[in-house]
Amino acid sequence: MTPADLAAWRQHMALSQREAASALGVSLPTYQRLERGAEWSDGAPVQIDRRTALACAALAAGLGEWRSEKRPE
């Protein structure tokens, strides 16, 4: 997933950056860094990890957090 893909996902989901960060469980500055594709301090490239890409796909598909059908009593 590229930063442009992440921005396109957010737009597809009609989310603000703050809402997207919350949905992915990251801070707003972390989300902004991922969408920007670079570190704020030195401009070094930032890689979007596979877990974030998969979380975006799951949210786009309407899936929530994983819950086993069998819950402990």
* pLDDT single digits (tens) 57-70: 999 999 988 887 77
- Domain positions in the chain are 3-60
pLDDT at res. 66: 82
- Asked if 31 contacts 24 with a C-beta cutoff of 8 angstroms, the reply is yes
pLDDT at res. 15: 98
pLDDT at res. 65: 83
When the candidates are 1.10.260, 3.30.70, 1.10.3470, 1.25.40, the CATH number that belongs to 3-60 is: 1.10.260
